[in-house]
Structures are given as C-alpha cells and as structure tokens.
Amino acid sequence: MKKKWLVNSGMLALTFPLVSSSCFNNINPANKSDEPRVEDKKALSDAVKVVNLGEISKKDIKTIIEALVAKNRNLKNSDIDVILDASENKAVIKAKNESKHYSGEVVVTFSVKATENNKKPEQEGKGEKDKKPGEGQNNGKPGEDKPNKIKPNNENSSQSNGNNNHNNSNRPIPKLDRQSLLMNTYRDSISGLDIELHPTGEQIKKEEKRLADEVKKILDQNLKNNRVFWAEVAASNSTAKIFDDTYTDQKNKALDKQKRREQDEARRLYYHKYQSSEATMRLFDDEYTDLVEEALTRQMYREQDAYFKGLMHEYYSAAHTKDLFELLTKQIDHKSNKKAEFRNQIEKLTAEKLKLEKEFAELETKSEKEEERLRESYESQLVQVVDAYEEEKALLVKQRNLINKKISDLLTKQDEINKSKAGIQDVKDLIEALRDAESSNKEYQDFIDDLETKIKKADELSAKTMDLERKIKELRSLISSSWQEQKDKAEKSWKEEKVKTESIQKDLKKELKEVEEESKTLKRLKRDLTENFSDSFFINPNENEGFNHQIIERIDKDILIAEHEKKELYALVAEANKKVLEKAYIYCELLNAEGKLKILEQDNKKLQKQLNEIREYVAENSLKRSSAEELAKLFADNIEKLQEFILKSLQASQSVYEHEQTLELLESEKDSINKSLDELESRFEKQKMNLLDNLDESILDLSFEYEDLEELKLEEIKEKEAQIKQKEESIQKLKK
C-alpha cells in the first residue's frame, strides 16, 4: 500500500509540475514554526535555482543578497557568504562553514543599471520646470514633450505638424523598469514578487526532471528493500533445510547414487572401448578366425548332443504310460496348431496376392485411359491450331487481294503519268537561274539601301552639327561676358548651401536619434508588458489607466507616430542633400565651361568631316542609283515569273512522285503480306510438329511411370507367391 501511494504521488507531481513549483514558492517563511527542524545539508546549487539575478541598482553585497533572495525564496541568507568579482558582473555564493543547511558554492551573474538611467527622471523633471509655457509641452503630460524640429524654408508648417502629432496621443506612457512593473502587476501580495508564476521552458524541464528523479529514487529504494527481504526469506528456507535430518539423509543418498552411476558409466565405457579394440584387432587375425570356427563347430555338436539326450531322457524317463500318452498328444496338438496357423497364413497371403493382381489390372486400365486422354487433348489442340491458321491466312489473303486491286487501278493511270514526265522540264536549271536573279537583285537593292542609309546619316549629322554650333555659341558668349562673375557667385552659393545643409542635417540627425531612442523605449516597454498573455488583463495602478492591454494599444499608436516622424526626418535630410547637389552641379558646369567648349569644337570638326565625306559619296553615286533601281525592278519581275514557272513544274513532278511512291509502297506491302503468309505456313507446321512431339513424349513418360508401378506390383505378387510356397512346404514337413 505504501509503495502504491508513493508511486501515485510521484506521478501527480510529474503531471502538475507548475502547481508543485507554485506551491513551493508560496511558502512564507513567516508562517513556519519558530523552532528550526533538523535536516541534512544539501548542495547550495539545489537551493539556488535561479543564478541570473537580472538587472540590479548597484554592485554591492547587500544588493546582490536581496536580489538572490528575491529570485530564490527558500534560500536562507544567514547561511551564505558573497564574494564579488571586481572585473566581471558575477559573484560567488559560498555556504558558511558553520551552516547547518548548505554546502558547496554557486556562481551567479547580473547586470548593473547605468548611472544616466538613474538620473534621467530628475533631469526630465528639471527640464519641464525650466521650459516656457507652449514650448514643446502638451498640457503638462509626461512623455509628450519633444524638441522643436528644424526644417529649412518651412518652420511654421513644421511646428504645426509637430503639434498635431503630439495631440494624437490621448494618454501618457509611463516609463517603468521591470522591477516597478512587477510591483504594479502583483500589487495584491506583500512583496509583489513571491507569486511570480511565469517560469521559462528551461525551468519547467528542470523542475520536471527533479520530480522524476525523486520518484525514481523512491521506487529504486522500494525495489532494493523488496529484494533484500526476499533474499532473507530464501536464505532462511535454505538454513532450515540444512539443519533438517531427513533432508540431509535424502541429500546424502542422492549424492551416493549419482556417484555410483557415474562410476558404473565410466567402467562401462572403458570396458566397451577395450572390447571394441580387442574385437577389431582379432577380426584381422587369421589364427583367431580359425579358433573361432573350431569353437563354433564344437559348440554346435555339444548343443545337438544335449538336445537328443534331453529328448531321450524326456521320452524314457516317463514313469507311466499316461505320461507318455500325454507327451505324444501334446506333440500331435502342436503339429495340428502349426498346420492351422500355416493354412491361415496361406489364405491371408492368397488374399493379398489377389488384391495385388487386381491393383495391377487397375494400373493397366488407368494407363490406357490416361493415354486416351492425352490423344484427345492433342486432337483438340490441333483443331485449335488449324482454326487459328485458317483464320489468319484468310485475313492475309484478303489484304493481298485488296492491295492487288489498288495496284491495278494505279497502273491504268500510268499513261497519263508518262505524259506528265515528258512535259516536265529540268527544275534544277530553273532553280539555278532563279538564284542568280535573286543574287543580282539583292546586290542592286543593297546598293540602294546603302545610299539611303548614308543620306539618313547625313541628315542626323547635320542636325548634330547645328546643335553643337548652338551650344558652342552659347558657351562662347558666356565665357566672353560674365563667366568669372557667375562662377564666383555659383561657388559662393554652393558653399553657403553646403554649410546651411550641414547645420540642418546635424539638427535633424540629433532629433532623429531622439525619436529612435523613444521608439526603442516604447518597444521595450511593450515587450515587458506582453511577455505573458495573462499580463494583458492586470489593472494598471495609475488612476487614469485601465488594463495593461489598453496601455499596449496606446504604446502601439505612439510607436506608429514615432515611425512616421522618422520617415519625415529622413525625407528632410534627403531634400537638403538634393539642394546642395543642385548648387554643386551649377558650379561644376560653370567651372568646366572652357574644357567643355574645346571638346564641343573638336566633336563639331569630326562631325563636319564625316558629313562632307557622306555628301561627296552620295553625289558621286546619284546617277548609279537610278540605273540600279531600274535593274532591280527588272530582276524582281523575272524572279516572279521564274517562281511561277518553277511552282507549276514542281506541282507536276509532285503528282508523279506521289504516284510512284504510292505504287512502291503498295508493292512493299504486298511483299510483306506474302512474307507473312510464308511465315504463317512455317509456324503452322512447326506447331503441328511440337504438338505431336509433346504427345509422344507424354505417352513415353506415362508408359515409364506405369511400367515402374507394374513392376513393383509384380515383384510384390512374386514375393507373396514365394511366401505361400514356403508355408505349403512347412505344412508338408509337419505331415512327415
């Protein structure tokens, strides 16, 4: 019963690890008895389950002990010492030498809050007092004041947009760290930290493993106790038998009997091996063989002599005639019984002989029937083969007759085909003439196309030269008049714009950094509030706040506003850079005007040279163009006529070609059918021969099989006849 209760309790603990851990965490040291109970020391690593203390206010022993006790509620801080590591954020927790509860040591880690974060609320409060009314404030709500955005050329609109963005937030966002957030969430408890039922997956697995180990430990101890108990029971039974006289006597008798049996078996095996070796040796000894034969002969004579002496003694030793009569009667009855027994055996053997003869006759009949069945099967298969042969042959003959009819129809049109052949000219010569005409036509057409291309290119070059001359004229007028003055003015404007833009970008980047920090703070606060789904339904301690999920919704809105402001700031930076680039481009254009003028003049000379060359080429070949166009038109007309004539010739030759191809295809099909008929005939003869061979082989196998059976039966009949003859001879001997 106790073992069953332990198993059930262990399974419950494994099934509900979170409930068990929460029950352990809810134990309040104030509710314990004033008298400490005596317990064994346990490892400090088992008492300190949480070794990551999180973020602490400052790095000293007192703060570390407070955070350690807050994370591990069952830890007794009076039994531990803390050794700080000056170089890293960690400490060694050691059990005191006089501690009655713990032993060993464990290393804990933590992080320290930055000093600027601690001073941040004070600075914000001071900043709000120093500000004038209406500057970056929104009715005194915390978290809503932002510095005025500096936007070039549009300060009024920027301020109005900033105020509208501020008014989109309906409630302030509290800036809470994790410690204060936990205090607000669990404000119903004394400390606010003793009912934090949000273990991580690793903590749950660790708790489940610990409970499983405890259950296994209990079950193993029970199994060990049970094994010890049953071993003691078995030992007590064996001890009782040791001191029992009856058991001792039986054991001694059994041991003696086994010992004698083993000795007899050993002697028997030894004697058998000895006799076998002696017999084997004597089998190949001629002297021993002769002695054995003499001994057997003498033994036979002695037995015969003893037998006759016994008969004579039995016969003559009868004291009375009655004894002699009874002896003779017994001998006569013995002979009669023997004769009757022999006759019965003869009748039985005769019946068995008749049965064997009947089985022999049945075998002959069965053999004949089986042979008849094989012949009928052969005839049936032969009929099927003949029918299939006749059917396939008729189909092939029908196809051949149809092809012969088609061939005869084609041969009736052979005269017309021959006339068409005579009228067809040599298409090859016509095609060659067509290729020559097309080549000449292409040559003249390429010449014309080349002239057209040259003329188009001349027009394009003329337009380009006119454009270059216009640009050259503009640059010359610019350089000759006020070029230096414009260049200095553009350089000054570019530098002023650059300085102004750098100042604006500096302010914008500063504001952008503040917006990004605010966005990160809001996201971190949202992450703390949404660590667990159940946190969304706790009431916020502020008077104007509702549930935490309402705060989360407002945080989401402020995050969207911050992201929108970031996009606007990025756009302002891009716009400022664009203006600087425009000023720089104007200055570069003026600065490079002389070099650009030289390049344009060189390009203009090159284009003028190309244009003159093209115009000279066109003027030289203008007369050739008209003659080339006439020849191209002539060749085009000839090509059209040649193509028409070739097409007619090809159509005529195509009909002749199709006629000959069809006739050739039909002849091929006819040959194929004749070949199929020959193959069919050969296959039919082969199938007939195979059927006949199979029949002969089956009949031969059948005859061999039944001949073997008949020979066995004959041998059995002869054996029975010999046995009958032997019994009859025995009866005849008894009659004598």
- Give the Å distances, CA to CA, from 43 to 93, 131, 422, 660: 12, 59, 120, 109
Tell me what pLDDT residue 160 has.
Answer: 36
Query: What was the pLDDT predicted at 28?
Result: 42
Alpha-carbon distances, residue 404 vs 659, 673, 680, 681 (angstroms): 15, 11, 20, 21
Instruction: Report the pLDDT value the prediction gives residue 324, as an integer from 0 to 100.
Output: 54
Task: Report the pLDDT averaged over residues 242-258.
Answer: 64
pLDDT at 179 over 50: no
CA atoms within 13 A on the CB side of 653: 11
Structural tokens at position 102: 């713990």
Residue 220 confidence (pLDDT) above 60 = yes
Q: Provide the pLDDT for residue 167.
A: 41
Q: What is the pLDDT of residues 61-85, one digit of tens each?
A: 888 888 888 878 778 778 888 888 7
pLDDT score for 521: 75
What is the β-pairing status of strands 52-56 and 80-84?
Answer: unpaired
At residue 53, the 3 state secondary structure works out as strand
Host H or E run for residue 184: helix 178-185
Stretch 100-117: mean pLDDT, rounded?
A: 78
* Range from 437-451, 467-481, 500-514, 713-727 that averages highest in pLDDT: 713-727
Determine the average pLDDT of the residues in 132-148.
Answer: 37
φ, ψ at 308 (rounded to 5°): -65, -40
Q: Is 108 helix (H, G, I), strand (E, B) or coil?
A: strand
The Cα 390–Cα 379 span in angstroms is 16
- Amino acid 398 reads K
Q: Out of 155-164, 463-472, 509-518, 589-598, pick the least confident.
A: 155-164
Question: Is the dihedral angle over the CA atoms 145, 146, 148, 152 positive or is it negative?
Answer: negative
Confidence at residue 586, expressed as pLDDT on a 0 to 100 scale? 59
Q: Provide the 10 A C-beta neighbour count for residue 548.
A: 20
DSSP string, 340-355: HHHHHHHHHHHHHHHH
Higher pLDDT, 546 or 12: 546
Handedness of CA 56, 57, 58, 64 (dihedral sign): negative
The span from the CA of 95 to the CA of 41, in Å, is 10
Confidence label for 122 from pLDDT (cuts 50, 70 and 90): very low
Give the pLDDT mean for 163-184: 43
3-class secondary structure, 281: helix
* Residue where the block lists tokens 């009856």: 246
Which of 164, 154, 140, 178 minimizes the C-alpha distance to 57? Answer: 178
pTM for the complete prediction? 0.26
Summarised one tens digit per residue, pLDDT across range 334-371 is: 777 777 787 788 888 888 888 888 888 887 788 888 88
656 vs 338: CA distance, rounded Å: 114
> pLDDT (tens digit, 9 = 90+) per residue, 278-313?
555 555 555 555 665 666 666 666 666 665 555 555
Residue 583 has what pLDDT?
Answer: 66
**Quick one: which of 658, 661, 648, 655 has its CA closest to 427?**
648
Residues 163-172 have pLDDT tens digits of 444 444 344 4
Higher pLDDT, residue 395 or 512? 395
**Nearest-angstrom CA–CA distance, 255 and 261:** 10
The answer to whether the CB of 552 falls within 8 A of the CB of 536 is: yes
> pLDDT confidence of 260, banded at 50, 70, 90?
confident
Q: What percent of the chain has pLDDT over 90?
A: 0
% of residues, the chain, pLDDT over 70: 46
d(CA 439, CA 318) in angstroms, rounded, equals 156
pLDDT of residue 731: 75
- The predicted structure's pLDDT at residue 248: 64
Question: How far apart are alpha carbons 285 and 279 in whole angstroms?
Answer: 10
pLDDT at 47 over 70: yes
Neighbouring C-beta atoms of residue 512, cutoff 10 Å: 19
Higher-confidence residue: 15 or 373? 373
Segment 413-427, tens digit of pLDDT: 776 666 666 555 555
**Burial of 723 per CB tally in 10 Å (0-12, 13-18, 19+):** middle
Contact status, residue 515 vs residue 569, Cβ threshold 8 Å: yes
For residue 283, the one-letter residue type is L
Count of residues making up the chain: 736
Query: Dihedral angle at the C-alpha atoms of 317, 321, 323, 324, nearest 10 degrees?
Result: 70
Q: What are phi and psi of 398, to 5 degrees?
A: -65, -45
Q: What integer pLDDT is reported at residue 173 of this predicted model?
A: 42
pLDDT of residue 606 exceeding 60, the answer is yes
Residues 659-706: tens digit of each pLDDT:
777 888 888 888 888 888 888 888 888 888 888 888 888 888 877 877
Instruction: Give the residue-averaged pLDDT of 571-578.
Output: 72
Condensed to tens digits (0 to 9), the pLDDT of residues 430-457 reads 566 656 666 666 676 677 677 777 777 7
In the prediction, which pLDDT does 625 show? 62
Phi-psi region of 582 (alpha: psi -120 to 50; beta: other; left: phi over 0): alpha
SS (H, E, C) 598-629: HHHHHHHHHHHHHHHHHHHHHHHCHHHHHHHH
Q: What is the pLDDT of residue 16?
A: 34
Span 698-736, pLDDT tens digits:
888 877 877 778 788 888 888 888 888 887 887 777 765
DSSP-assigned letter for residue 103: E
What is residue 732's predicted lDDT score, i.e. its pLDDT?
Answer: 77
